[in-house]
């Protein structure tokens, strides 16, 4: 039986290009998992492994969320996907900034703004690490109520997505976005 990868909650990395969001965030958390030894996965491949192929239970949660938030005038995941068709997205997350070691995704809305940083740290003498950091800033009461309602689910989802991607070696399960030199079959 394969051991489940360890996902740990840590302080958000100060090296992140998103660190300017930390101080005024209404929600700030960061989770980390180790990359497999010798992995040469680039940050975009890692991002697709973490965010690009959500589990069926998460899709069901999103469907429920979309039904509820539509009543309050918040954008659904479908609205987010359509808001910049042809733009750089991973699933419904808009890519705001891309670097060799970090991808920052997010959206700005009238109720809240959010950012997700996926960042790789490659320390000398230790395992390479993938950080998933989220920062949210609320603008009004609706944003704060929404954030309070989804925060426990958010933490569960981030841990689960990171663990699932780590179990697959941070390679997308469908084999898309192949990593050069990495020809392992997808883990199912």
Q: 167: which 2 tokens?
A: 């179990």
Mean pLDDT by 10 residues, the chain (188 residues): 79 96 96 90 93 80 77 71 71 89 92 95 88 97 90 92 91 55 32
pLDDT on residue 59: 76
Ordered domains of the chain (ranges, CATH):
14-167 (3.30.530)
Tell me if 18 sits within 8 A of 24, measured CB to CB.
no
pLDDT on residue 18: 96
pLDDT on residue 33: 95
The residue with tokens 């780590």 is 166
Distance of CA 98 to the CA centre of its chain: 14
pLDDT on residue 136: 97
pLDDT on residue 180: 36
Tell me if 183 sits within 8 A of 46, measured CB to CB.
no
pTM above 0.85, yes or no: no
pLDDT on residue 5: 82
């Amino acid at each position: 039986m394969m051991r489940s990868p360890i996902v740990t909650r840590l302080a958000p990395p100060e090296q992140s290009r998103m660190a300017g969001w930390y101080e005024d965030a209404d929600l700030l958390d960061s989770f980390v998992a180790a990359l497999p030894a010798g992995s040469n996965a680039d940050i975009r491949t890692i991002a697709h492994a973490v965010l690009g192929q959500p589990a069926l239970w998460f899709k069901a949660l999103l469907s429920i969320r979309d039904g509820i938030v539509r009543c309050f005038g918040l954008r659904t995941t479908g609205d987010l996907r359509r808001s910049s068709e042809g733009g750089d997205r991973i699933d419904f997350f808009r890519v705001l900034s891309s670097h060799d070691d970090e991808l920052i995704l997010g959206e700005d809305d009238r109720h809240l703004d959010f950012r997700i940083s996926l960042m790789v740290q490659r320390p000398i003498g230790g395992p390479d690490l993938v950080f998933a950091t989220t920062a949210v800033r609320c603008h009004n009461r609706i944003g704060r109520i929404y954030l309070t309602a989804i925060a426990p689910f958010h933490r569960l989802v981030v841990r689960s997505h990171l663990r699932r991607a780590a179990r697959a070696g941070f390679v997308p399960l469908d084999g898309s976005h192949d990593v050069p030199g990495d020809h392992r079959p997808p883990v199912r």
